[in-house]
Structure 1
């Protein structure tokens, strides 16, 4: 029947529009990431639209409002963060090598993407009860390190209950120290800074182990744990 063709045509148009809308949203988000890297965390939606080569009104044909724009940027940033911090999910070698790799990956990402990090922090504060992507990143890293510490503490027949506090304490130390380092115009070189942080982190872990009666050589290889990567952000 002729009338039956109309719903199918409408569905086809709707699917094409949805696909085009998703594609354009991705293009706008990539443009936003570029302009944030160039201009800093205080960019406006008007500047994002200009970077994408459209008027601000055109931007809002694909996003509900400014919060929707910020949310899409945050989602894409989370994907990039999980990819760039890949060394954190596969730590192996000596304790000091593992620590240096983890600290190096974290500080490198922050130093190369500090405008994006500050952008996410700014909009996390303004989002009210919305998702805090910076907290999500710290929690993901903290949970992964907790599992890592639990593995080795159990291997050494030690109390695994301290794994969580130690893991999240280490994450907080590295994150806050790196934020201060980035804000200091007189800051020391990154390699020296990473070496300092690695020593401080090892001091915390070494003290925890010694309190449980275990002395570990920071430079002796450890058997790599069989831990799965954290789930990718949706």
Structure 2
């Protein structure tokens, strides 16, 4: 027999809906606590420190996240949302494709310099993929897709093939990430804006643009 409208079944649905909202809010609070704990304890932060930052216990944390990997994935999603928003704002303020590229690289480096431990936590945590996939690959894909979507219209307006935006977007993410990793490991041997300029030159012109052209042997006069 079907439950009457407004009867027990409807009441359970409303209660379930309220609990769903509560669980989403609590998960978001725990993600923010994880970010704060990384800032306080570094990229190697443990679940005990994260729980303490949230003012709760590990048992409660594990009610909302199956394991550390799932929490890490949620932190990656939070960082990806913030980073893509930062990149979007920076790129939309530039008029030329090269200026867009420079703005995106500068914004990325500024983002990680402001919180290098959070960057290390997101990028260098070697965790097994979760049901949602590899969090690092997902983060890189999100940033690469965002870069491609922003650059494509500018390439088209400049008379360049907009199809190049996809490999450019994802390729630049790999280029900048690798260089940024070296920069942090080497204790920032050059100022951020100088690194950004070098990476912009390399990404824009390509190796062929900065390497000397091969010399053509002169033909002997008969």
TM-score scaled by length of structure 2: 0.74
CA distance in 1 between partners of 2:17 and 2:76 (Å): 25
* TM-fit CA distance, 1:138: 3.1
* Higher relative contact order, chain-length normalized (CA < 8 Å, sep 6+): 1
Tell me which residue corresponds to 1:131.
133
CA distance in 2, matches of 1:189, 1:55: 41
Shift in alpha-carbon separation, 1:97–1:130, aligned structure 2, 3 A: same
Unaligned 5+ residue runs, structure 1? 209-234
- Identify the residue that residue 20 of structure 1 maps to in structure 2: 22
Q: Which residue of 1 aligns with 2:60?
A: 58
Matched with 1:212 is none
Larger Rg: 2
The separation in 1 between residues aligned to 2:20 and 2:90, in whole angstroms, is 36
Q: Which residue number corresponds to residue 103 of structure 1?
A: 105
Q: Separation in 1 of the partners of 2:157 and 2:149?
A: 12
CA RMSD across the alignment: 3.5
29-38 vs 39-48, greater mean Cα deviation: 39-48
Instruction: Choose from 182, 197, 200 the match for 2:199.
Output: 197
Post-superposition offset of 1:105: 0.6
Structure 2 distance, partners of 1:155, 1:13, is 53
* Equivalent position of 2:92 in the other structure: 90
| Unpaired runs of at least 5, structure 2 | 211-222
Any idea what SS the aligned residue of 2:64 has? coil
CA contact (8 A) 1:96 1:202 kept: yes
- How many residue pairs get aligned? The number is 208
| Partners of 1:93 and 1:80 in 2: CA distance | 23
d(CA) in 1 for partners of 2:209 and 2:103?
20
Moved more, 18-27 or 6-15: 6-15
Contact 1:32 1:48 in 2 (8 A): yes
Q: What's the TM-score, normalizing by structure 1? A: 0.70
- CA drift of 1:107 comes to 0.8
Q: Separation in 1 of the partners of 2:192 and 2:181?
A: 13
CA gap 1:46/1:98 in 2 versus in 1, 3 angstroms = same
Task: Give the match for residue 79 of structure 2.
Answer: 77
Spell out, residue by residue over 1:79-113, the C-alpha distance to the aligned partner (whole angstroms, 9 max, x if none): 22222222355263345533321211111112223
In the TM superposition, residue 145 of structure 1 has moved relative to its aligned partner by 4.6
- Give the Cα–Cα distance (whole angstroms) in 2 for the partners of residues 8 and 75 of structure 1: 33
